[in-house]
Structure 1
Amino acid sequence: MVSVRFATVADADDIFSALVGIAETVKELHKLKSTVDDIRRFGFGEAPAFETLIAEFDGRFAGCCLYFPSFSTWIGRPGVYVQDFYVAADFRGQGVGERLLQRLAAVTRARGGCYIRLAVDTLNYRAQAFYTRVGIKHSDTEQIHAAYDQDFDALADADRDDRPASD
């Protein structure tokens, strides 16, 4: 049986193991910079940066969905952005992924939300097919842009405002 629950700090090792699993799947383990301590620090406590749903199959860790709140000014409603979604290889094809997304949708709706957004690695065809099958469709009208590392630092360094950045 698949059960889904909110993660606690005690789940940080499993969450991080899932991140390693994702990085290995897309052959980009060398890009994974976070640590289990980052998961503990930013995912739990007074102001967590994200939440995680944990799926268990007969009491064993089977997968997780790490997400954070989002807001669509065009829709005028909140939703969630899925940052990381993982089902352990031993549990694929057993309904674990569907249960995680069903719970995420129910939690989001209960909080007033009306959408789920996520990005999929361009070469992860299996994940793309899965998302399409459960009703999460590819958007032909949006493209993700990002600033990381030196590009991010250059933007932050270019800020000439005299006020502290936390204002």
Structure 2
Amino acid sequence: MTGLIIRPARLDDADDIHAALVGIAETVGELHKMTSTPDDIRRDGFGPHAHFHTLIAEIDSSFAGMCLYFPIYSTWRGQPGAYVQDLFVAKDFRGLRIGERLLRHLARAVRDQGGGYIELQVDAGNVSAQRFYQRIGMKRDADHVYQFMGDSLTAFAGKEDDEETA
């Protein structure tokens, strides 16, 4: 594809990254759960202590998509990898295999850095995303995800160690 560039995100991409996250939340019908802001993206996604990394896809200097991920490590595999938190392709650029190309770019980086896997989760109702990941060869496992979030995290963290938690 001519004009496609995949590059690491820069601080001035924060508004586009956040807009993509809003697009994902709208797509899965969960916009009401989204509380992040572009300032959160600027604060947490850049600098020496970034909590995540983002690859940006551009076509002819226009934002076409992004892959937001962070490093992970599997103690069972004894290997590093990457966890894809968000993959987004702008509506005007869908059908051009940009999502696949973003993931392939990430896969090469993971491999070149000694990693052995990429993981992600798909919302149960996002059937088109599930089909996409299956089409490009990703396999789904049977793990169930458990979470502490918000108030439940705060409450759990505030319990004394001698309190019963199980």
- Give 1:4 shift: 0.6
Determine the C-alpha separation between the residues in 2 that align with 1:159 and 1:69.
31
The amino acid of 1:43's aligned partner reads G
What RMSD over aligned residues (CA atoms) do the two structures have, in Å? 1.2
- Any idea what the Cα deviations from partners look like across 1:97-120, whole Å, max 9, x if unmatched? 111000000111111111000010
Identity of aligned residues (%): 54
The amino acid of 2:102's aligned partner reads L
Aligned: 1:150 with 2:159: no
The amino acid of 1:158's aligned partner reads K
- Give 1:160 shift: 5.0
The amino acid of 1:152's aligned partner reads L
The number of residues matched between the two structures is: 160
Corresponding residue for 1:164? none
Determine the C-alpha separation between the residues in 2 that align with 1:90 and 1:159.
52
Output the TM-score relative to the length of structure 2: 0.93
Corresponding residue for 1:112? 114
Corresponding residue for 1:30? 32
Corresponding residue for 2:70? 68
- Any idea what the Cα deviations from partners look like across 1:117-152, whole Å, max 9, x if unmatched? 001010000000001111112112x11111111211
Determine the C-alpha separation between the residues in 2 that align with 1:103 and 1:24.
26
- Give 1:57 shift: 1.6
- Any idea what the Cα deviations from partners look like across 1:66-118, whole Å, max 9, x if unmatched? 00000000100000101111011111110111110000001111111110000
Residue pairs, 1:112-131, within 5 angstroms: 112-131=114-133
- Any idea what the Cα deviations from partners look like across 1:6-52, whole Å, max 9, x if unmatched? 00101000000000000000011110011000000000011100000
Residue pairs, 1:4-153, within 5 angstroms: 4-140=6-142, 142-153=143-154
Q: Which runs of 5+ in 2 are unaligned?
A: none
Output the TM-score relative to the length of structure 1: 0.92
The amino acid of 2:139's aligned partner reads K
Q: Determine helix, strand or coil for the equivalent of 1:54.
A: strand
